[in-house]
Amino acid sequence: MCGIVGLHLKTPRLHDRLGELLSTMLEAMTTRGPDSAGIAVFDDTARPTMRLFKDVGSPREICERYGVPRLSGHQGVGHTRMATESAVSTEHSHPFAPSDDLALVHNGTFSNYATVRRALLREGVEFATDNDSEVAARYIAQQRAGGADLDEALRMVLKTFDGFYTLVVVTEEQFAVVRDSFACKPMVIAETEDYAAVGSEYHALAGLPGIADAEVYEPGPEEVYTWSR
């Protein structure tokens, strides 16, 4: 069990609060992942740059250690980890960023990740860990390098990966959510004119501005939800 959150801001007036809002959302997921935590944020420049912070410890500790509440930007993702299949370490923590313009957070497990990993290794893809989430991140990066946009890459994930999973993936321009065909790993989306926010549990979203007027819904199985800058 892990906790994932994400926030895509549609209005520049909230950009200065991105780090603050994401930190609060992530801290609400502490009970879902006490081993490690991390956040990736894209700034709001003409060519957005990603800043990524992850480490062993609680969400509050990580956010305070790296000054996350003071960060500004237009979108980001966060993750709290309960390790189930690999070591508790900074390297195995989320988000996974196989390139400087893509970050992935994952709740669940891939049952065939070793097969996909071997196929990627044969194609020259290098790995830093034995974590199944890294395999998905590098697979998506490879699809995008081949010309796919994020929506297309995630549809290929649905065709290629077996297991129970929810993913939130961000690039410099796109923000996306996808769940497997069983959709048993929880996810809630809240959308307003100002933002699209996601969380493993609703209470991660409860403190967002304007949440009382948000459209709140559960993403369906095998559906890719995307937002663009």
Of 96, 69, 74, 91, residue with least CA distance to 169 = 96
Query: Phi and psi dihedrals of 227, rounded to 5?
Result: -130, 145
Going by pLDDT thresholds of 50, 70 and 90, the confidence category of residue 125 is very high
Structure token pair of residue 177: 């959510």
Those residues whose C-beta lies under 8 Å from the C-beta of residue 108, and which sit 6 or more positions away, are 2, 163, 164, 165, 166, 180, 185
| Predicted local distance difference test score (pLDDT) of residue 34 | 73
Q: Tokens 């049952």 label which residue?
A: 111
- Maximum separation of any 2 CA atoms in the chain, in Å: 50
Q: Which residue, among 56, 69, 65, has the nearest Cα to 26 in the 3D structure?
A: 69
For 14-40, b/e burial (b = at least 16 CB within 10 A) is bbebbbbbbbbbbbbbeebbbbbbbbb
2: annotated active-site residue: yes
- Catalytic option among 2, 37, 137, 178: 2
For the cut 70, the answer to whether the pLDDT of residue 85 exceeds it is: no
* Average pLDDT for 78-95: 78
> What is the token pair recorded at 96?
């996974």
The CA-atom distances, in angstroms, between 15 and each of 19, 71, 86, 120 are: 9, 9, 35, 37
With a cut of 70, say whether residue 4 has pLDDT above it.
yes
Residue 39 near residue 5 (C-beta atoms within 8 A) = no
| Whole-structure pTM value | 0.95
pLDDT digits (tens, 9 = 90+) for 46-69: 889 999 999 988 899 999 999 999
Grade residue 86 by pLDDT with cuts at 50, 70 and 90.
low
pLDDT at 153 over 90: yes
Judged against a pLDDT cut of 80, whether residue 88 lies above it is answered with no
pLDDT at 89 over 80: no
Q: What is the mean pLDDT of residues 104-130?
A: 96
Two structure tokens written together for 10? 């549609």
Confirm if 134 and 110 have CB atoms less than 8 A apart.
Answer: no
Tens digit of each residue's pLDDT (9 = 90 or more) over 177-216: 999 999 999 999 999 999 999 999 999 999 999 999 999 9
Per the model's pLDDT, the better-predicted residue between 15 and 33 turns out to be: 15
**Alpha-carbon distance 42 to 77, whole Å?**
9
- As given in the structure block, the two tokens for residue 49 are 């740059």
What domains are there in the chain, each with its CATH number? 3-107+164-228 (3.60.20.10)
Share of the chain above pLDDT 90, in %: 86
Strands 36-42 and 50-56: antiparallel
Q: How confident is the model at residue 92 (pLDDT cuts 50, 70, 90)?
A: confident
What average pLDDT does range 86-115 have in this prediction? 90
Give the bridge partners for 198, in sequence order.
6, 189
